[in-house]
Amino acid sequence: MCLAFPQQIVKINGNKAKIRISSQEQEIDISLVKVRKGDFVLVQNNTAIRKIPQNQIKELTALFTLKGGKNGRTATRRPLLLQT
């Protein structure tokens, strides 16, 4: 079983891309997928493993966002379990 997180690409430079997690950017490898700036991908071990189709983005974003909690904070980056 593997853990993957949906993230949006904010910059691309060759086979590397930047994603934004909270207020920080992180570099990932995109050599396995064809993506453009603004696309959402599943990220595992700093590697984009799958592009998320447009029609699934809203549903996945809702699944990975927990609203409420203490002080009404929003928590993100819950893992998506994929069987390999």
Give me the domains of the chain, ranges plus CATH numbers: 2-82 (2.30.30.140)
Whether the predicted pLDDT of 72 surpasses 60: no
pLDDT digits (tens, 9 = 90+) for 16-59: 999 988 788 999 999 999 999 999 999 999 999 999 998 888 88
Helices and strands, counts by H and E, the chain:
1, 6
How many angstroms separate the CA atoms of 73 and 71, rounded? Answer: 6
pLDDT of residue 18: 97
Average pLDDT for residues 63-80, to the nearest whole number? 54
Q: Residues 67, 83, 50, 11: is their CA dihedral positive or negative?
A: positive
Mean pLDDT of the 7-19 span: 96
Q: What integer is the mean pLDDT of 53-75?
A: 68
Amino acid 84: pLDDT: 46
